[in-house]
Amino acid sequence: KQEVTQIPAALSVPEGENLVLNCSFTDSAIYNLQWFRQDPGKGLTSLLLIQSSQREQTSGRLNASLDKSSGRSTLYIAASQPGDSATYLCAVHTGTASKLTFGTGTRLQVTL
């Protein structure tokens, strides 16, 4: 059974800092991995998708890496801004199951 863990559960940083969010998963036989952002009371916004054959993906100030063999992914946010404050969710798609397994998220607060 696939399990996804995200560390830390919560993080508070001052504006401008670079930060790293961690995600680990127990079953390395994944189809892809997605990072999402969820604002309070809102839906999920897809940030980055990494296919199992890829090592990383970049979008603006965001960079996600994937090490499938060790069951790890990181989301790097450069030059953080208060607007980045949200909960960040990592989810893995196990190809045989056709569903996403989510971590419990990292709640990020970027302060002025």
Partner 1 sequence: NAGVMQNPRHLVRRRGQEARLRCSPMKGHSHVYWYRQLPEEGLKFMVYLQKENIIDESGMPKERFSAEFPKEGPSILRIQQVVRGDSAAYFCASSPGQIEAFFGQGTRLTVV
> Which one among 11, 13, 19, 44 touches partner 1, defined by CB under 8 A?
44
Mark the segment that binds partner 1 (CB under 8 A) among 12-20, 60-68, 69-77, 89-97: 89-97
Residues 81-103: b if buried by 16+ CB within 10 A, e if exposed: eeebbbbbbbbbbbeeeeebbeb
Q: Does 76 bind partner 1 (CB under 8 A)?
A: no
In the stretch 3-42, what mask flags binding to partner 1 with x, by CB under 8 A?
Answer: ----------------------------xx-x-x----xx
At 63, list the tokens. 């960079």
Q: 53: which residues sit within 8 A by CB, 6+ positions away?
A: none
